[in-house]
Amino acid sequence: MQYLLLVLILAGLAYAAWRLMRASASAPRPKIVGPDDDPDFLRRLNHPDPDSRT
């Protein structure tokens, strides 16, 4: 009887861990803004600021 209880507890913990991992895997990821998504960055590449040259 004790082994059955132990197996049920271990199975419940494994199921809970599996559900937590699936929930975190499907969570929405934050959007990463790269240089090609930033119009101001592209504008500075095409027209560099003459005062910033050293």
The residue extents of the domains of the chain are: 2-48
Task: Tell me the pLDDT tens digit for each residue of 21-40.
Answer: 887 766 677 777 666 667 77
Burial of 29 by CB count in 10 Å (0-12 exposed, 13-18 middle, 19+ buried)? exposed
Taking the C-alpha atoms of residue 15 and residue 30, their distance in angstroms, rounded to an integer, is 28
First vs last C-alpha separation in the chain: 80
pLDDT bin (cut points 50, 70, 90) of residue 13 is: very high
Predicted confidence (pLDDT) at residue 44 exceeds the cutoff of 70? yes
Rounded Cα distance, 14 and 8, in Å:
10
